[in-house]
Amino acid sequence: MTGIDIHSPEYRERTTDFEAEARSCPVRWTDRHEGHWLISGHDTVTEGLRDRDRYSTVKYTDENGKLCGGLTIPTAEGYRALPNEADPPEWDGLRRLLAKPFSPGAIEQLRPMIQRYATEVVDHMIEAGEADFVMEVGSPVTALVTLDILGLPLTDWRFYAERIHQTFTGVPGGGDSEAGIPGIQKRLSESIAARRLNPGSGLLDDLIAAEIDGEPLTDETVKDLVYDILVGGFDTTAGLLAGAVRYLEDKPQERERLLTDDTCLRTATEEFLRYISPAVGLAKTATADFELDGETVHKGDRMWFMYRAANWDPEEFANPEQVDLDRARNRHVAFGSGIHRCLGSHLARVIFQTVIREFLTRVPDYRVVQDEAESYVFACVNAGFAVLPLRYTPGPRIHETPVLEQV
């Protein structure tokens, strides 16, 4: 295990075996990628994520001028994702600005808007009889909802969605997977500059007008906050939806329950989050020397937190490899835990519940084209599909002018 490489093809092929092996010693060192810890057991992951002081997510430059830290191993260049790559006290001020618009109460108010976009993405694919669920349903619906909240032009949905999908489908450092990031950064900077001159009425405008301790945010900070909201939500929510659609393909009784039983839909949402774990793992950096499960961690050590390994820990979940739509106790960490716990968790849940009902109602006989479905090549950060092709009996549209056709 000490030589295990989280980016290797073996990890992708044997993900759950590997994660089970990792859990047998929930804090262990690997010498790959300049060395880092693997943190995998449910309790160790949860306690670590809740520790506000011992772990940092900030990127920094070391004495040799090398970029270190951040959420990925190796450290990704070319962006700063806020508030995820900020530590307290900077994190507190930034997160406070975002807490209200993404609170359960605020997201409840958005249900009609989310339903409208769910109807429209299904309208857009339903007549064809075949579609890629990821880029024709899961990603666009999340993109449209998020851009609507921010007040960014809906016409940009494809621009952002395709570039974000590209970063998740490629091999980091091994191709052009990060090629889309500069384009996103540039488009966001242009939109922010334009909105400073001509304010609109979305979260973007609220951020431009916001202050922390009496100081306005810089354009750079506004960009980094919006970037995190876009990148954090699109492929994770699409991956959750796609994973559920694939699982439910041959389970008519479970589908019926999701459509008719609100309690089951809510419990099942948590179970799909646990089972699919769209966020598989992310990194932090130790801020001090300390003991962890009998191992000595040193200041500056990189720590790889394995959310899915925690969510499949048999010490916490009975039969973790099985989906149990009625699983009552479900302390999953699919949204992380502690200060960086997902800002968009309420939004992701409502999008998931709305879209799954819309889709299962209107596309009841879908089949997954199994030999054309492709998972992400890079398996350790996010679980999802590059493409999930479906075939089904074509059906009628509901709306006359879907937003997707106007863009």
The residue (of 236 and 375) whose beta carbon lies closer to ligand HEM is 236
Q: Is 23 in the site for ligand HEM (CB under 6 A)?
A: no
- The DSSP symbol for 382 reads B
Quote the tokens at residue 220: 């750079």
The residue (of 225 and 297) whose beta carbon lies closer to ligand HEM is 225
Q: Is 281 in the site for ligand HEM (CB under 6 A)?
A: no
Q: Is 233 in the site for ligand HEM (CB under 6 A)?
A: yes
Cα(221)–Cα(82) distance, integer angstroms: 8
Query: Using CB under 6 A, which of the segments 111-119, 308-316, 328-336, 364-372 binds ligand HEM?
Result: 328-336
Cα(279)–Cα(42) distance, integer angstroms: 15
Q: How far is the CB of 29 from ligand HEM (least distance, A)?
A: 21
Q: Is 152 in the site for ligand HEM (CB under 6 A)?
A: no
Quote the tokens at residue 55: 């772990």
The residue from 26, 48, 83, 140 that contacts ligand HEM (CB under 6 A) is 83
Query: Using CB under 6 A, which of the segments 27-35, 255-263, 343-351, 399-407 binds ligand HEM?
Result: 343-351
Overall size of the chain counted in residues: 407
**Cis bond leading into 172, ω under 30°?**
no
Cα(233)–Cα(5) distance, integer angstroms: 27
Q: Is 334 in the site for ligand HEM (CB under 6 A)?
A: yes
Q: How far is the CB of 57 from ligand HEM (least distance, A)?
A: 6
Q: Is 381 in the site for ligand HEM (CB under 6 A)?
A: no
**Binding residues among 54-73 for ligand HEM as defined by CB under 6 A:** 57
Cα(106)–Cα(100) distance, integer angstroms: 7
The residue to which tokens 């900030």 are assigned: 58
Cα(45)–Cα(274) distance, integer angstroms: 14
The residue from 18, 227, 335, 392 that contacts ligand HEM (CB under 6 A) is 335
Side chain identity at residue 74, one-letter code = P
Cα(55)–Cα(103) distance, integer angstroms: 25
**What residues contact 263, with CB distance under 8 A and at least 6 apart?**
none
Q: Is 143 helix (H, G, I), strand (E, B) or coil?
A: helix
The residue from 76, 121, 229, 292 that contacts ligand HEM (CB under 6 A) is 229
Q: How far is the CB of 327 from ligand HEM (least distance, A)?
A: 17
Site string for ligand HEM, 26-55 (x = CB under 6 A): -----------------------x------
Cα(115)–Cα(105) distance, integer angstroms: 17
Give me the residues that bind ligand HEM (CB under 6 A), please. Answer: 49, 57, 83-84, 95, 102, 228-229, 232-233, 236-237, 240, 278-279, 282, 307, 334-336, 340, 342-344, 347-348
